[in-house]
Amino acid sequence: MYIRKIHLENFRNYTGLDLDVGPSVNIFYGNNAQGKTNIIESIYVGASVASHRTAKDQDLIRFGSDGYKIDLLIACDGGYDTELSAQYKANPKPKRVLRQDGAEIRRISDYIGICNTVIFAPEDLNIVKGAPSARRKFLNTIIMKVSPTYVNLLGEIGRLIEQKNATLKDARFGHSNGDIGSTLDFWDFSIADLSADIILNRYRFARLLSGMAAKHHASISGGKEELSLDYDTIGGTVSVLEGFLSENGVYDDFMAGKLSQGKYGAIKAILSEAVLSKLRSSREYDLDKGISSIGINKDDLNIKLEGLQMRNFSSQGQQRSAALALKLAELEIIRRFVSSTPILLLDDVFSELDSSRRASLVTAMTDAQIFITCTEKEMIAGELEGLIGTNQANYYKVSAGTVIPE
């Protein structure tokens, strides 16, 4: 699968853009602040309806206009083309419209699985050193790519938690009418049910990531220090889950995504009961504070080097190696579980990698379409062409929101 054409309207510093791109390697070069990253970002947003730089759609709209549009014409593996279109309008009220071949797609989960991308960007460092939300986003993104309906679980639980928080806040200020206890019971029951599914997904992908990231990290760092990941969620639930998997001898089935329906139902019921009892035991505290104090919305991944939390105890160099190992693990998971080869987006990182790392990334992905940004074309052109062959790369000079193909 590869992108043939990119069409932009009022996206970041692009008033309008119509660009044909090549099926192999596309290199965008130019000075700083010209719009190179904006191109990479537009592809990512056009395919996944999320930016790697901002959570606010408003930031993506060109200053002074009131909406953006991204159209991607995609050549699919089956030999046919499809057009994805992601449009966002801020006025008169925020509205997103997603389309495939002109027909509106209402559920985001039906859209984000169509075109898979994996992005490497300077922001990846936040996975290691940033707030827990950066690690949740990393994990969520991977799960969504493998099973797009996961995004519906996140949307639903997000709404429930918001409603529960509103109830807690009202109760705190004495504004509530009716039986608060049974209203909260209702939210908690639904939240616990969804939490169980989310925990099962996050635990599984955190374990998968841990093994793969450790392997990549060993090769990056020469095997000196050991990288590991632990999924950190509502207290006690991970041990309940692990206990179930080992008692039933189904750890491998679970990790392969092949747990029987009966077993899945059983562990889901056990987990949701465990979550519910945790939510109940924090109710008094939550009512006092007016906010949900525990929940999967607080989940984290503990990234450790030699057993020490990297967020608190690591050098920049260690953080960079770990971030790269995590992203390579993401790429490996997508390649293992998603049938079409993902499109690789490399923002600025290419020139930061050493040449053996560059070679291994590119040669592992010779079947993929790759987009690269850099400031100096000469810095990578010769080496790249040595890896992929001459005439395989397309060059584009980016300057002040215009893109000139060479």
Ligand X SMILES: Nc1ncnc2c1ncn2[C@@H]1O[C@H](COP(=O)(O)OP(=O)(O)O)[C@@H](O)[C@H]1O
- In the complex, minimum distance from the CB of residue 373 to Mg ion, in angstroms, rounded to a whole number: 6
Question: Which of 36-44, 50-58, 68-76, 386-394 is the region at the interface with Mg ion (rule: CB under 5 A)?
Answer: 36-44
* Distance separating alpha carbons of residues 44 and 256, to the nearest angstrom: 28
Q: In this complex, which beta carbon is closest to Mg ion, that of residue 41 or of residue 193?
A: 41
Q: In this complex, which beta carbon is closest to ligand X, that of residue 42 or of residue 167?
A: 42
- In the complex, minimum distance from the CB of residue 37 to ligand X, in angstroms, rounded to a whole number: 3
Residue 391 binds what, of ligand X, Mg ion, none (CB under 5 to 8 Å, by partner type)? none
φ, ψ for residue 24 (rounded to 5)?
-105, -105
Q: At what angle do helices 237-247 and 261-281 cross, to 10 degrees?
A: 150
Taking CB under 6 A as the criterion, the residue among 3, 29, 38, 157 binding ligand X is 38
- In the complex, minimum distance from the CB of residue 45 to ligand X, in angstroms, rounded to a whole number: 12
- Asked if residues 152 and 107 have their Cβ atoms less than 8 Å apart, the reply is yes
Secondary structure class of 54 (helix, strand, coil)? coil
Taking CB under 6 A as the criterion, the residue among 33, 76, 256, 379 binding ligand X is 33
| Strand stretches in 223-292, DSSP E | 227-232
Name the amino acid, one letter, at 360. S
Q: In this complex, which beta carbon is closest to ligand X, that of residue 27 or of residue 153?
A: 27
Q: In this complex, which beta carbon is closest to Mg ion, that of residue 40 or of residue 310?
A: 40
- Alpha helix positions (H), 282-315: 283-289
Q: In this complex, which beta carbon is closest to ligand X, that of residue 34 or of residue 201?
A: 34
Residue 195 binds what, of Mg ion, ligand X, none (CB under 5 to 8 Å, by partner type)? none
Taking CB under 6 A as the criterion, the residue among 4, 5, 9, 13 binding ligand X is 13
* Distance separating alpha carbons of residues 276 and 211, to the nearest angstrom: 31
CA angle centred on 214, ends 210 and 217, rounded to 5°: 135
Taking CB under 6 A as the criterion, the residue among 12, 52, 164, 304 binding ligand X is 12
Taking CB under 5 A as the criterion, the residue among 37, 116, 117, 140 binding Mg ion is 37
Sheet holding 81-89, edge to edge: 14-20, 2-11, 67-75, 81-89, 95-100, 103-104
Taking CB under 6 A as the criterion, the residue among 1, 7, 29, 34 binding ligand X is 34
Residue 12 binds what, of ligand X, Mg ion, none (CB under 5 to 8 Å, by partner type)? ligand X
Largest CA distance in the chain: 73
18: tokens are 């119509």
Secondary structure class of 313 (helix, strand, coil)? coil
- Asked if residues 114 and 100 have their Cβ atoms less than 8 Å apart, the reply is yes
Give me the 344-373 binding string for ligand X, x by CB under 6 A, dash otherwise: -----------------------------x
User: With CB under 6 A, what is the number of residues at the site for ligand X?
Assistant: 16
- Applying CB under 5 A, the residues found at the interface with Mg ion are 36-37
